[in-house]
Amino acid sequence: MTGLITIRDLLFSYPGSPPLLSVKELSLDQGRIAVLIGDNGCGKTTLLKVMAGLLTPGAGTVTRSADPLVLVHQKPSLFTESVGANVAWPLKIRRIPRREIRKRLDAALEMVGLEHLENRWAPSLSGGEKQRAAIARALILNPAVLLLDEPTSNIDAPSVETIERVLRVLAAEGTTVIMSTHNLASAYRLADRLLPMVRGSLVPSHENVLRGRALDPGEEHIGRFQLEEGPVIYCPAARGTFTRAVIRMEDIILSAGEMVSSAQNHLAGTVATVLAEDSELVRIELDCGFPLDAVVTHRSVDELELKRGSTVYATFKASAVALY
Amino acid sequence: MNREAFLEAFRLLSRLDRELIAITANSMHFALASTLIAAALGIPLGVILAFREFPGRRLIVAATHTLMGLPTVVAGLLVFSFLSRSGPLGWLGLMYTPAAVIIGQAFLALPIVLSLVYSGLTRLEPELIETLITLGATPLQRTLKIVREGRIVVASAALTAFGRVVGEVGTAMMLGGNIRWYTRTITTAIALETQRGAFALSVALGVVLMIVSFGVNFGLNYMVRFRTAP
């Protein structure tokens, strides 16, 4: 499947500055949520702007087979007029008939939960409401691709929840969502695909993000997490609604036979892929009834004679599992 | 100048003397018309200057800033050399007409409008223009939206220009010639009538001009406060 947005050998820099972005290959599929994570200044915003066509790369290609494609900035940049006028504006400039604008405006405002604020003066909204209004102004166009720069930063918790729900609904309806965030919890909850960035480049994610739900620990000191497509794993006891279990790939120990250890989680699996990441590390993709990745050294690969089809045991502590 | 002149001045003001009104109307007419011309040219040029990259842009910005301080008599001289009988546009017969004054004052107002619109719009959020692009606006729709978003900036630029031309005397004198009932303005009347001993009219006109200037400054202050309000 070819992606809606495909990037190849992209280089970007501002005149007279060192390269800011260098992306070898990235292809994004329809109806999925991809989340860019990384430190300040690692190039997330620049990459989003390149994808949106607002910045022209110095080298490489960006292919977009989607229209419309809208970017919502971190700063919502609402116009100094009413919320309704803001959200309806993209349709108004396209000379859409008034009755249809009315219909789509109502739907967009309702989706982000701002229907009661349609006549409010946009500059008087709270930060979270502004961000929701900016998202409504973008989604009223029924975008094929929605790019969002830090949509959940520095806003109130209910607004974060609303925005996450809206993005999930949009993705389920076929919109491709690409967003950047600092908020790791939000990233884990939303992402179909995590895209970590370091100094302008995409790097492989070193975290397993597993879907499922945490079971009520009751009086136990250890918690359990029911994987969506697999067994129950042990995790720290926590009360509340958690839908993601995150395990760092470095925290998974691979062994040829079953280990006797203090770690609670022992899973048998088959090696699906062996992938050299650099001169030091190798990524092992396991099939344990569900996909689970581990990162080991080349030396371990040789010692365990890991290759496609080998049977191995994956061991990790309950405390290595983080719930989101 | 004596007490009698002041009393006469207030008598002129209080009974809305016909000549006083005519002179004030001329001043307003010339200043408004020249500000409108300057705004019609300066606002779109200011938008282009603020958001388009093109060679020579820096130079134009610098030149515009410099021209804000153009001495009024130099502007008058420039327009004079074009409009006088022997000048290239002499055949139009515009010298010593209201049109000549309006042209001269538009020359003074244009750099002010252009410069203030430019610097005001460049201070708008940089995300605004990108937002307009990503929402699919055409260049014309973007320009109109930017001017709308910067309406306070644009209005205060026009008001500043109006304040400058309504109080200037150089071009109005050189190009209008202070012709009674025709091109005589508040400033030319004060400058020339005072010398002829007509103190009362001068004082009355001075009061009117001060009220106009205060009004303009009050308006500007109000707008600045509105702009910086949260």
Digit-by-digit pLDDT tens for chain A (324 residues) are: 456 899 999 999 988 888 889 999 999 989 999 999 999 889 999 999 999 999 999 999 999 887 899 999 999 999 999 999 999 999 999 999 999 999 999 999 999 999 999 999 999 999 999 999 999 999 999 999 999 999 998 899 999 999 999 999 999 999 999 999 988 999 999 999 999 999 999 998 999 999 999 998 888 889 999 999 889 999 999 888 899 999 999 999 999 998 889 999 999 999 999 999 889 999 999 999 999 999 999 999 999 999 999 999 999 999 999 999
Sign of CA pseudo-dihedral A38, A43, A45, A50: negative
CATH number assigned to the domain comprising residue B88? 1.10.3720.10
Say yes or no for a CB contact (<8 Å) between B128 and A80. Answer: no
A73–chain B Cβ distance below 8 A for any pair: yes
For A86, the 3-state DSSP assignment is helix
Residues of chain B contacting A79 with CB distance shorter than 8 Å: 145, 148-149
Distance between CA atoms of residues B130 and B139, nearest Å: 12
Q: Which domain holds residue B47?
A: 24-186
**Position B39 in a domain:** yes
Distance between CA atoms of residues B205 and B203, nearest Å: 5
Question: Which residue among B134, B145, B149 sits closest to A71, beta carbon to beta carbon?
Answer: B134
Q: A89: nearest CA in chain B?
A: B135
* CATH level 2 (architecture), domain A5-202: 3-Layer(aba) Sandwich (3.40)
Nearest Cα of chain A lies from the Cα of B136 at a distance, in angstroms, of 7
Residues of chain B contacting A80 with CB distance shorter than 8 Å: 149
Q: Domain limits of chain A? A: 5-202, 207-323
Nearest Cα of chain A lies from the Cα of B135 at a distance, in angstroms, of 6
Distance between CA atoms of residues B56 and B48, nearest Å: 13
**Nearest-CA neighbor of A178 among A118, A138, A231, A225?**
A138
The interface predicted TM-score (ipTM) is 0.85
**Position B118 in a domain:** yes
Two domains, one topology: A5-202 and A207-323 = no
Q: What are phi and psi of A93, to 5 degrees?
A: -70, -15
Q: Which of A14, A45, A79 to mutate to test the interface with B (most CBs of B within 10 A)?
A: A79
Tokens of A290: 């569900």
Say yes or no for a CB contact (<8 Å) between B130 and A54. Answer: yes
DSSP string, A289-306: SSEEEEEEEHHHHHHHT-
Cis peptide leading into residue B88 (ω within 30°) = no
Residues of chain A contacting B149 with CB distance shorter than 8 Å: 79-80
Distance between CA atoms of residues B62 and A297, nearest Å: 61
Domain topology for A207-323: OB fold (Dihydrolipoamide Acetyltransferase, E2P) (2.40.50)
Residues of chain A contacting B51 with CB distance shorter than 8 Å: none
Domain count, chain B: 1
Q: Which of A51, A73, A92 to mutate to test the interface with B (most CBs of B within 10 A)?
A: A73
